[in-house]
Amino acid sequence: MTQSPGTRPLALTVAIALAILVSCLDPSARAASRIKDIADFEGIRDNMLIGYGLVVGLNGTGDSLRNAPFTRQSLEAMLERLGVNTRDANANTKNVAAVMVTANLHPFARQGSRIDVTISTLGDSGSLLGGTLLVTPLLGADGEVYAVAQGTVAVGGFSAGGEAETVIKGVPTSGRIANGAIIEREIGFELAKMTTMHISLRNPDLTTSRRMAKVINKRFATGIARALDPATVAVMLPPGGGLAMVDLMGEIELLRVEPDQIARVVIDEQAGIIVMGADVRVDEVAIAQGNLTVRVTETPQVSQPAPFSENGETVVVPRTTVEVDESGDRQLTVLNRGVSLRDLVDGLNALGVGPRDLISILQSIKVAGALQAEIVVQ
């Protein structure tokens, strides 16, 4: 029996809807992540560059040459290279600022391509607004020059004021130059010639590394992947020479793996922030929370003598009210063995505690040995 042309789109729509429904009902499908999102490939990384330069053209907001000797020395050295001798001159310009220039050299960036740079002041310059960065070599960790930066600095903030008031928005002493550096040297790394690739997990875990190796082997039906440790999975080219390393990595990075995680509670005591993982479990424990609050209120009264009295004076009579709150309505709450994260949060919320008290309660549960998780205090 053949379907009519009008029923085929309807059947396709129903099939797509069922697939979406199944993926929504399957928790593992929602939790799976692409390998490219949870791991890094060997050799595919950024390299940090740094340089020292001068920004000119500032409208009186540059460094004070008397307070910034490095700016004076840099300015004199630059002018000497251009044939201008200012060693014995009393330069007092306020239009120059010494800056640090930083950038990230992207992996496999080729000679002649451009990258963004960030500019930050070193001296007492008040703003880089309207300034221009002069030619600045950018060095790598090995001391070699990999890029050269120059251009107009774009500043996101500003500073304005007078003798009585000053208004500052953002950070005017830092800026960026989009595509402000040209790459002069490439980092030698031949990905296509590799026969073995190491994949590094961003969150090392034994279970996750084994799952990743299993997913890769299942995709290519061979044992080309092997978990070396909690953070590394080694992948070899499939036998037969049908795939190059670039093609192999392109297919592997799209495979999905369900990452595992350690049961961990992260506490930021200064900000009062608590983050708990999904695998946090609590053994049977009883919790009671209460605070003793003493409130002292001073409401002094004024005592005046009777009208037309010859003797008497106006005095202030102190009046103090003391209130004590022992939180007697707080009750003991019992959490059963092996409760989940949701049950733990619901039970603690039932006590009516805030984030600060919740931090103390979690730490006390850990000391009691009932919290089966690692506590990390930032």
Per-residue pLDDT of the chain (378 residues; tens, 9 = 90+): 444 545 445 554 544 444 444 444 444 444 689 999 999 999 888 999 999 999 999 988 899 888 888 988 898 888 888 888 877 677 778 899 999 999 999 988 999 999 999 999 998 998 899 999 999 999 999 999 999 999 999 998 766 666 666 777 778 899 999 999 999 999 888 888 888 999 999 999 999 999 999 999 999 888 999 999 999 999 999 887 778 888 999 999 999 999 988 888 888 877 778 888 777 877 777 766 665 454 556 577 777 777 766 676 777 777 766 665 555 555 555 656 666 666 766 766 766 667 777 777 788 888 888 788 888 887
CA distances from 162 to 57, 155, 159, 167, 168 (A): 22, 21, 10, 9, 12
What is the token pair recorded at 259? 């990452």
Query: Measuring CA to CA, how many Å separate 69 from each of 72, 92, 151?
Result: 5, 12, 24
Neighbours of 184 (CB within 10 A): 14
Q: Given the DSSP bridges, would you call strands 166-169 and 174-183 parallel, antiparallel or unpaired?
A: unpaired
Gap between the Cα atoms of 203 and 212, Å rounded = 13
The backbone torsions φ and ψ at residue 198, rounded to the nearest 5 degrees and listed phi first, read: -105, 125
Where are any strands of DSSP class E within 210-280?
225-229, 232-236, 256-257, 264-268, 273-276
User: pTM, whole model, 2 decimals?
Assistant: 0.67
The total number of residues shown for the chain amounts to 378
